Amino acid sequence: MASRAEQKALARAKRIEYERKLVEDARRKQRLARLGGVVIAAAVIIVAAIVISSKNSPSAPVKPNSKASKIVEARVDKLLSGIPQSGNTLGSPNAPVQVTFYGDLECSACDYFADAPTTDTSDGIPGSGLENQLINTYVRPGQAQIVYRSLETATGSGATPDMFPTQQAAVGSAGLQQKAWYYIELFYNEQGAEGTTYVTPTFLDNLAKQVPGLNYNEWLGDLSNDSSLTTQVSSDERAAAAAGYNSTPTIVIKGPKGQAAAISGVPTGEWSQIQKDIKAVR
């Protein structure tokens, strides 16, 4: 049986290959769009230049208190406002369907799943919009809830000591104030380039200060002193390993009629599969 380190290395390699294919797919679509006419071609060339530039220069996280950060805060608040939260769960406790999202906050494939198509991911390509569709179509109306669980696949690839337990516990600490999903969405929307050293205590603090209504001092105290938060991170990882999940994002959908096969990775067009699985388990 492979060691935990070997499992993480394998998961990281699979995710990097997946992300490479995402970028290639985006560029292939841009090339095809050029056939649509001169005007479209000009627009595609501009977009391609932006993508290539982004890939050549690693994305930096959004600066706190900047114009960009205010735009992100407004976008996240619009997505989540009015939806009940409890711990790491978003949505009504009476929802018949539960969607579990195993993620690593530094994973750029998770960023692709979480970001809207109008937002560039840290890989320099537009987000999939899938999580937004899931929240607006099923979670907001009370038909489903989303539970966020931790699974390390990307964080350890950075050059600094592994921040994974702390950054994931930061979500749990916000969850103690029913604000976990604000923290999750802000992190993904402000994510830096994977494998770089942007995640620091200061970065985590700045995210917390952006969460509307969060008591920062209480959040910091819980993060520093509540060992149950990191214990939960470890528990999530053990549960993922026991189920055979070794990549992020992994999406698990279950309801009164059972559990659908886990979706590992979220390629373009996966929305129809998510809809099909929700219908099957309701």
pLDDT in tens, 191-211: 999 889 999 999 999 999 999
CATH architecture group of domain 4-281: 3-Layer(aba) Sandwich (3.40)
Give the tens place of pLDDT for each residue, 231-253.
Answer: 999 999 999 999 999 999 999 99
Q: Around Cβ 92, how many Cβ atoms within 10 Å?
A: 17
- As a whole number of angstroms, the distance between CA 240 and CA 136 comes to 27
- 261: helix, strand or coil: coil
Of 76-80, 94-98, 266-270, which gets the smallest average pLDDT? 266-270
Q: Around Cβ 225, how many Cβ atoms within 10 Å?
A: 9
Of 140-154, 211-225, 247-261, 268-282, which gets the smallest average pLDDT? 268-282
